[in-house]
Amino acid sequence: MNQKDRLKTILELLEERKELSTEELMEELSVSKDTIRRDILVLLNQELVERYRGGISLPVMKEKIQTYTDRMIANAKEKDAIALKAIEEIKPHQVLFFDVSTTVQMIAEHLNHEQLLMVTQSVDNAFALSKKNKKSDVFLLGGLFDAQSHLIHGEATIEQLSTFLFDCAFIGAAGISTNGIFYSELTDIQMKRAVIKNAKKVCLVVDSSKIAVETSFKLAFSGIDLIISNQPFSKELKNKLEDQNIEIIITEE
């Protein structure tokens, strides 16, 4: 088993057990202590695990993640304003990606364009996009269905992304700070990385409730081209984003 496969297995085991000792990892993977130490170091550097005496665990959540329904209701006016601004980025004949995000879903609800190919792993987005955009095509990615979040996920879903080249991808986040962009699940990070890899332009939409929020899993700013929010960022965060050549649009300015 190569390192990539071992790291994937370690994270899958942690999802089930929450924490693992070094000895348990050696036994599960049938490798030496030195090999496990190198694997743990990689995961620590990516901030995907935390170390405790004798082993590793998943990072502790710093903020409670609301249910999808709760998030749809919260800050609806602010999300509407962000969505309307995001739609200005859309042009005819484009191939677009719509992430599983309550703010991105607002974009889907308001969008009324023709001659688009719109791709999503969100069942809610697919319904919303198909209502108004009668002369455009909606592609719902296949895979495992998560009834709570109304999304399709898994390796098959990620693999399908490589067959597209998106003119623009609209993604959301659980939080954003000077340390990066944050998500509540490892699968969120894997999906976002695949989307970014296959997009000419990536637009991150975040309302004010996500600013200065950090959760379990972190995504770097690299690959993000535009961030739209309803509230100005702190000077530190604004400078960080500008250093990365990321355009910032604030709807309430």
The per-residue pLDDT for range 153-186, each reduced to its tens digit, is 989 999 999 999 999 999 999 999 999 999 988 8
Q: Which domain holds residue 220?
A: 68-250
More confident residue, 32 or 73: 32
- Residues 116-132, mean pLDDT to the nearest whole number: 92
Residues 82 and 10 in one domain: no
| pLDDT score for 60 | 60
| pLDDT score for 102 | 87
| pLDDT score for 70 | 53
Rounded to two decimals, the pTM is: 0.71
Is 63 domain-assigned?
Answer: no
**Interior angle at CA 156, CA 153 and CA 162, nearest 5:** 105
Question: At residue 31, does pLDDT exceed 80?
Answer: yes
Q: How many CA atoms, within 13 angstroms, populate the side-chain half-sphere of residue 195? A: 30
| pLDDT score for 150 | 81
Q: Of 30, 57, 84, which marks where a domain is finished?
A: 57
Please, which pLDDT band fits residue 61 given cuts at 50, 70 and 90?
very low
- Residues 100-120, mean pLDDT to the nearest whole number: 92
Question: At residue 248, does pLDDT exceed 70?
Answer: yes
Residues 52 and 119 in one domain: no
CB count in 10 Å sphere of residue 75:
18
Residues 53 and 171 in one domain: no
- How high is the mean pLDDT of the chain? 88
| pLDDT score for 111 | 92
Residues 116 and 154 in one domain: yes
**How many domains does the chain fold into?**
2
Question: At residue 108, does pLDDT exceed 90?
Answer: yes
Residues 51 and 85 in one domain: no
| pLDDT score for 82 | 95
CATH number, domain with residue 234: 3.40.50.1360
| pLDDT score for 74 | 55
Is 62 domain-assigned?
Answer: no
More confident residue, 244 or 187: 244
| pLDDT score for 252 | 79
Residues 207 and 234 in one domain: yes
- In the chain, DSSP assigns E strands to 19-21, 50-52, 55-57, 95-98, 117-120, 137-140, 144-146, 151-153, 168-171, 175-177, 180-183, 202-205, 217-219, 226-229, 247-250
Residues 113 and 230 in one domain: yes
Question: At residue 11, does pLDDT exceed 90?
Answer: no
Question: At residue 65, does pLDDT exceed 90?
Answer: no
Is 86 domain-assigned?
Answer: yes
Residues 184 and 72 in one domain: yes
- Residues 30-57, mean pLDDT to the nearest whole number: 84
Residues 29 and 86 in one domain: no
- Residues 206-233, mean pLDDT to the nearest whole number: 93
Using left for φ > 0, alpha for ψ between -120 and 50, and beta otherwise, residue 136 falls in beta
Percentage of the chain lying above the pLDDT 70 cut: 93
CATH number, domain with residue 23: 1.10.10
More confident residue, 82 or 47: 82
